Amino acid sequence: EGYTPPGKDVQLYSSHRLFPSSWFSYNVGCGLNGQMDHVTHVTVSLYPVRYLPGDALLYVAEGADVRVTFDPPVVTLPTVDTYDLAIIAPQTFASELQPLVEHKERMGLATVLKTTEDIYSQYDGVDRPEQIKYFIKDAIEEWGASYVLLVGGLKSIFYAKPRDHPNYGVQGWHVPVRYSNLVSGEPGYPCDLYYADVYKAGGVFEDWDSNGNGIFAEWTDETGAPEDVMDLYPDVALGRLACRSVQEVRDVVNKIIAYETTSYSSDWFERMLVVSGDGFLDQHDLDFQWDTTGLPEGEYTIYAQSTNDQGVTGPADVINVTLDRGASTSLRFNHDDHLNPALQDGYPAPPITEIVSVSEGDVLGSDDYHYEPSEREAYCNTLFWWANVSYADGVLHIRGKSYDPQPYGNVTDVHLWIENSNGEVVFEDYRYHTEVYYEGEWVTGEKSLHGRGGALHYMPERFERDIVWTSNGRFTGQRDVIEAFSRGHGFAFFSGHGSPGYWGDQYPGIPGNRQYGSVDGLTVTQVSPFFPWVQFPAFPMKQLANTGQYPVVVVGGCHNSQFNISLIPSVLDIFFLLLLGKNLYMHTYGQPTPECWGWYMVKMPESGAIATMGNTGYGWGWEGEYCTVGAGDGWITSEFFRQYAEHGYGILGTAYTQTQTSYISHFKSFTLPECWWFPDLGWDAIDEKTVQQWVLLGDPSLQMGGYPQ
């Protein structure tokens, strides 16, 4: 049925080589600590148990002494503090940025503005991004700068060329962008971490081209080793205001100044909004096997019913079938729990069972039948094989899903029984403690899994929790999100699915698959090149009414912060793909998108966010019980709130860089082999991409919650 159970590798288990090969390993990088001091990060991993498979021996260490020997680098950074913040922008934005420079000076941050024109005339480099990076290096070494703010994105909301070369976008940009060449579902993505990762171990300049072939951040086979090995630790807190016009600069500068001068001690700042739902259909295979051999032909009724761990039993799913060995087998895949009457009154709802591998009126006949539904029919079936249709040698494999659609409703027992036409039970079976997790809700929430909490788990108790989830009935569409966001919050956390102009998630259990189970959360526009052309409001983000109460926003999802978007390419994207077979990699599917979700939130002059952090490429989420501890999106997004709350980092860029640093140090030694459907065996392309693409669209020197006046 497409799934091959794992088997023992005889050659491997006959080996006389120890696993792991050493008692320890370590990783060294150059970056910042929480006080924004330049340090060397050393991560040491110990392996106290090692296995010699050929001799069936375990070697166990009774103890370990760790000694780190450090040779000071030849080049040391001078201790200077001329400027705290360096702003990089084109000359055309310079006058509009002067009020920001003066404001930062008043707040005690020594600030300097450097134009891109000056940088290009004063610094050498293989390309424009490297020239800027060399200036940043000088800003660290000569001025002691801790924060760098790039001001400038694409030059037009209508059309601007996003990428001139595999390594960069320059011609269409006010401030150029470096592209990573890590190929994972797309041929790279914008990567501002390049500018922040100035040094590698020993204080040597980190050029992101370790193999010297002229292609930066190269990783062409995501299942193999990278061509370029990079430090990745940020050496400066860097953010970007991706402004396209003088007006956008003026608006965002005014917004930052107002935020830092009026937010202090405001009640609204101590509110946190979380919006999420069910990220993946992590149903494990129930596989009830009904052997019809020896049963008389006739009519049979299949019943399946779930009970949660609170003793609440939901409605039974009932399907009538015919056993007729003289007829041809007729089996149909059936995924329609979105029509279940128990879900029509909203959420929370009672436990739901949905049989998908057999449908009402099907015939179990003389021939075998197998069908593997696509992801469009059964989400995540390629991982868990939970929905395959199979009837062979008289055995019907009854598959489906069981879930408890309420907050943290992750456990159900399933009872399946089959009756003949006389009401006699001819088959009965149970599946106990089946688990399904609503990933985004755990990642944003207050509880912990495998020792790691969601974002609210770490936030101070004084913060009011505004929980807008599909499972608690508060997230049913954009209107719910707009109304909640408009209350005003210090922080907002969206965890779900995205594209450059869209963010949303799914109802618990994803009833009816993604076609019916998805929920729109917040979009840039609702204009379409296809009928009905427009839905209202045409620009939902503009309905946000949180005037003067701007949260720091973290968004989990694919491409929400892909700031190389402009209107015409976003529309042409789907037509080029369908008609010419050419992918523009706008990821907008024809949806007109003038600017990406993450930047649109920030650029709105009187509402939206004060800053956003999100992905410029495909985000990676971990399915099921490992959603809070697994690599990728869920970990790095929730880690920001842990850094803020547990370590007290009040400057946005400090919390942001320490989140990146923490991710690198943790996952350089992290493994998750027990996740059988996708074991994590160490640092890989998922980890590399997670750190590279997580961009800050905002002022890294921002004092979260404002300054006392």
Tell me the per-residue pLDDT of 617-644, one tens digit each, with 9 for 90 and over: 999 999 999 999 999 999 999 999 999 9
Residue 333's alpha-carbon distances to 358, 387, 399, in angstroms, are: 6, 8, 10
Joined together, the tokens standing for residue 518 give 């998805």
The answer to whether 340 touches 361, Cβ cutoff 8 Å, is: no
Residue entry with tokens 């860029």: 653
pLDDT digits (tens, 9 = 90+) for 364-392: 999 999 999 999 999 999 999 999 999 99
Burial class of residue 124 (count of CB atoms within 10 Å of its CB; 0-12, 13-18, 19+): exposed
Give the dihedral sign, CA 245/239/615/260: negative
Are 531 and 522 contacting, i.e. CB atoms less than 8 angstroms apart? Answer: no
* The pLDDT of residue 9: 85
Cβ neighbours around 307 below 10 Å, total: 20
Q: Contact at 8 Å (CB) between 248 and 599? A: no
CA distance 558 to 497: 6
Residue 1 has pLDDT above 80, yes or no: no
Average pLDDT over residues 649-667: 99
Least Cα distance to 469 among 515, 437, 502 occurs for 437
End-to-end distance of the chain based on CA atoms, in angstroms?
68
Residue whose tokens read 């990088």: 29
pTM: 0.97
596, 537 in Cβ contact below 8 A?
no
Closest CA to 263 of 610, 588, 670, 693: 610
Axis-axis angle for helices 94-106, 246-262 (nearest 10) = 10
Q: d(Cα 642, Cα 663) in Å, to the nearest integer? A: 12
CA 125/CA 130 separation, integer angstroms: 5
User: What tens digit of pLDDT does each residue of 487-538 get?
Assistant: 999 999 999 999 999 999 999 999 999 999 999 999 999 999 999 999 999 9
Residue 116 in tokens: 């891109």
Separation of alpha carbons 321 and 331, rounded Å: 10
Report residue 572 as tokens: 């042409």
Q: Is the pLDDT of residue 287 over 60?
A: yes
The C-alpha atoms of residue 123 and residue 585 are separated, in whole angstroms, by 32
* Residue 550: C-alpha distances to residues 255, 489, 544, 604, 692 (Å): 9, 7, 11, 10, 26
Task: State the pLDDT at residue 6.
Answer: 66
pLDDT, tens digit, 9 for 90 and up, residues 233-269:
999 999 999 999 999 999 999 999 999 999 999 999 9
Which residues of 110-165 form beta strands (DSSP E)? 111-115, 147-151
Q: Strand pairing of 271-276 and 491-495?
A: parallel
Which pLDDT belongs to residue 5?
A: 64
* Residue 421 burial by Cβ neighbours in a 10 Å radius (0-12, 13-18, 19+): exposed
Distances (CA, A) of 694 to 93, 415, 660: 25, 44, 9
Q: 338-342: which pairs have CB atoms within 8 A and are 24 or more residues apart?
A: 338/511, 338/512, 338/516, 338/517, 339/512, 340/315, 340/511, 341/315, 342/314, 342/315
User: How far is the CA of 708 from the CAs of 107, 280, 312, 701, in angstroms?
Assistant: 10, 44, 52, 16
Structure tokens at 554: 């973290």
The three state secondary structure string of 263-304 is CCCCHHHHEEEEEECCCCCCCCCCCEEEECCCCCCEEEEEEE
pLDDT by residue (tens digit) across 167-185? 999 999 999 999 999 999 9
Mean pLDDT for the stretch of residues 459-480:
99
Residues linked to residue 520 through DSSP beta bridges, in sequence order = 504
Say if CB 206 and CB 231 are below 8 A apart.
yes
pLDDT recorded at residue 2: 54
What is the distance between the alpha carbons of residues 485 and 494, in angstroms, rounded to a whole number? Answer: 11
C-beta of residue 706 within 8 angstroms of C-beta of residue 262: yes
Report helix, strand and coil shares of the chain as percent, to nearest 5: 25, 25, 50
Nearest to 672, CA basis, from 473, 349, 452: 452
Residue 332 has pLDDT above 80, yes or no: yes
Mean pLDDT of 601-605: 99
What does each C-alpha distance from 217 to 106, 191, 194, 633 come to in angstroms?
39, 10, 9, 20
Collapse the DSSP code of 612 into the 3-class scheme (helix H, G, I; strand E, B; otherwise coil) and give the result: strand
- Kindly state the DSSP code that residue 166 receives in the 8-state scheme: T
Rounded distance between C-alpha atoms, residue 199 and residue 246, angstroms: 33
Average pLDDT over every residue of 420-426: 99
Mean pLDDT (the chain) is 97
Question: Which residue carries 């009457």 as its tokens?
Answer: 341
Largest CA distance in the chain: 91
Tens digit of pLDDT for each residue in 183-222? 999 999 999 999 999 999 989 999 999 999 999 999 999 9
Rounded mean pLDDT, 561-589: 97
Is residue 279 predicted with pLDDT exceeding 80?
A: yes
CA angle (689, 691, 692) in 5-degree steps: 65
Q: Residue 659: pLDDT above 60?
A: yes
Omega of the bond leading into 99 within 30 degrees of 0 (cis): no
The confidence score (pLDDT) of residue 340 equals 99
pLDDT digits (tens, 9 = 90+) for 338-350: 999 999 999 999 9
- β-bridge partners, 453: 448
- Exposure class string for 582-607: b at 16+ Cβ within 10 A, else e: eebbbbbbbbbbbbbbbbbbbbbeeb
Sheet of 369-371, strand order: 288-291, 395-398, 389-392, 369-371
